[in-house]
Structure 1
Amino acid sequence: MDRTKARGPYAKTAARRAGIIRAARDSFAEHGYEGASLRDIAKRAGITHAAVLHHFENKDELLTAVLAQRDDEEWERGFAEAGALDSPAQYLGELLRRHQETPELMRLWAELSASASRPDHPARAYFVDRNERVRSYTAGVLREREAQGRLPEGLDPDSAAALLQAVLHGLQTQWLLNQELDIVKPLHRFFDLILLPVERGRSTDTP
């Protein structure tokens, strides 16, 4: 009984932070980083400006939380959806299309990830960890493909994972500069280059 009561304040705090992040995401998507204000975010969340500052030190910290939440959602969705789609290229193509629905968030991600390359940037640790996590996971998946004989000769999984990250980031940056550009088709062609088709009649159990 006492333990249930003890969880109350923590649950309330987590719910309040989640509400602020949702409000900030809407504000950033509508107004961009410069146009969004903490007072607008507070109004959307139904709380005071001071209450926002109680949970987040400044707008930079809040933007990092918004993008981290989007990243977490995409990881969860990826595990749920990737197996239901025909290929990684199909899943990632759908992911790019979803990003295109909120171009301002895509732009903020690109700007923040570049700014976080500075050693003193508050979001640096998050982006370093995030990039390593994505690269490590992707390389693991590609090692499975390598075991199936599906990586071209001379291309190792770690290099292929780094190239895929570069392609995804680069395509989105190009689209931000020219929103008439088709970035899904080049992504599929890139997968054609780094993943060989499954050989007919080959058993993946063969040593």
Structure 2
Amino acid sequence: MGQARARGPYAKTPARRAEIVRAARDSFAENGYAKASLRDIAERAGLTHAGLLHHFRNKEQLLAEVLAERDAEEWQQGLEQVARPDQLAPFLAELIHHHQKAPELIRLWIELAAAASRPDHPAHTYFVERHERGRTQFAEGFQPKAARGTLCEDVSPESAAVLFYAALNGLQMQWVLAPDLDIVDPLTDFVRLLFDQDHAGE
């Protein structure tokens, strides 16, 4: 006989967790983190409150999962859409416009990142590893440009990666404080400063 099929609350757990994360993402975006309730998220996911707590301990854990999922989606999009330096700025512009449609998620990300700077915060390890991974991946991506001379003179790939993250995160924080501020053009200008556009398409 074949292996018995999973039954009860443990059946289809990964799929159920994905449904809960999607429901949380919608609830956070519509209501804000403070006003979003676990009961509302459970209802959106077709679960009882107790059923949701079987998968996630609290709202903070759900927020971290929502942001991690968004990171993974956007990184994959970048891999698929950005093959050359001249494609980076248009991709980032589109990404920023997408973020600005859900400003509450940007605000939540900034707040959680600041809180997670404490070593005892539940999301501390996630944010440390996220930034380390991002810097490493961008530095590796910038290496061929540096070898071809298309990276700004005297700027190492490692420094470029750190500066890139600082500009992207800093501009989004400024926009949260001043929603009328244009941050797409400054980010595009910054990318142009990093790369020699005369050779960017090579």
TM-score normalised per structure 1: 0.90
Local SS of the residue matching 1:33: coil
Select between 76-85 and 100-109 the one with higher mean Cα deviation.
76-85
Which residue of 2 is the match for residue 42 of structure 1?
Answer: 42
One-letter amino acid of the counterpart of residue 173, structure 2: T
Do structure 1's residue 172 and structure 2's residue 172 form an aligned pair? Answer: yes
- Number of residue equivalences: 201
Q: Deviation of residue 7 (structure 1)?
A: 10
CA distance in 1, matches of 2:7, 2:153: 55
Do structure 1's residue 152 and structure 2's residue 148 form an aligned pair? Answer: no
Which residue of 2 is the match for residue 135 of structure 1?
Answer: 135
Which residue of 1 is the match for residue 23 of structure 2?
Answer: 23
CA distance in 2, matches of 1:51, 1:17: 11
Cα deviation, 1:116-153, whole Å, max 9, x if unaligned, reads 11000001111111111111111011111101101222
Q: 1:191 to 1:86 in 2, by over 3 A?
A: closer
One-letter amino acid of the counterpart of residue 25, structure 1: R
Select between 70-79 and 172-181 the one with higher mean Cα deviation.
70-79
CA distance in 2, matches of 1:159, 1:145: 13
CA distance in 2, matches of 1:78, 1:3: 40
Q: Map of 1:1-207 to 2, 5 A cutoff?
A: 2-3=2-3, 5=5, 12-83=12-83, 86-199=86-199
Whether the aligned pair in 1 keeps the contact of 2:86 and 2:197 (CA below 8 Å) is no
Which 4+ residue blocks in structure 1 deviate beyond 3 angstroms?
3-11, 83-86
Q: 1:74 to 1:157 in 2, by over 3 A?
A: same
**Root mean square deviation, CA, Å:** 2.2
TM-score normalised per structure 2: 0.92
Note the residue ranges of structure 1 that are not aligned, 5 or more in a row. none
Q: 1:176 to 1:187 in 2, by over 3 A?
A: same
Q: 1:9 to 1:40 in 2, by over 3 A?
A: closer
Whether the aligned pair in 1 keeps the contact of 2:139 and 2:157 (CA below 8 Å) is yes
Identical columns (%) = 56
